[in-house]
Amino acid sequence: MKLSDLATIRTNFPEADFWLVRRGSLKTCGQPVREFNPEHIGVKVERTDILLPDYLYYCMQHLHTSKVWEPLATGSLSLVNIRVSDVRNIALKQR
């Protein structure tokens, strides 16, 4: 199952539960934030019966601190970005 099966993920999404920094340095790219910016990637969980938005937010924090986004980031060393498709394709495991 992919994240896109449970959530709507896109840019310029003020109704999202939280956002991921799409463009910046390697240290900030992919960082989840609670403040809307039209450039950030918005994530809104549609299937709250399966996945809670706050839980996903903390999972995204874990992915960011684990540097999962660094190999996916494209651009120069000082300014990189991640794609919406990278976020949509995050694999989720069922228990």
Residue 73 has pLDDT above 80, yes or no: yes
- Write down the domain spans for the chain: 3-88
The CATH architecture of the domain made up of 3-88 is: Alpha-Beta Complex (3.90)
Q: Give the integer Cα–Cα distance in Å for 81 and 70.
A: 9
- What three-state secondary structure class fits 73? coil
Whole-model pTM above 0.85? Answer: yes
- Split at pLDDT 50, 70, 90, the class of 76 is confident
pLDDT in tens, 8-60: 999 999 999 999 999 999 899 999 999 999 999 999 999 999 999 999 999 99
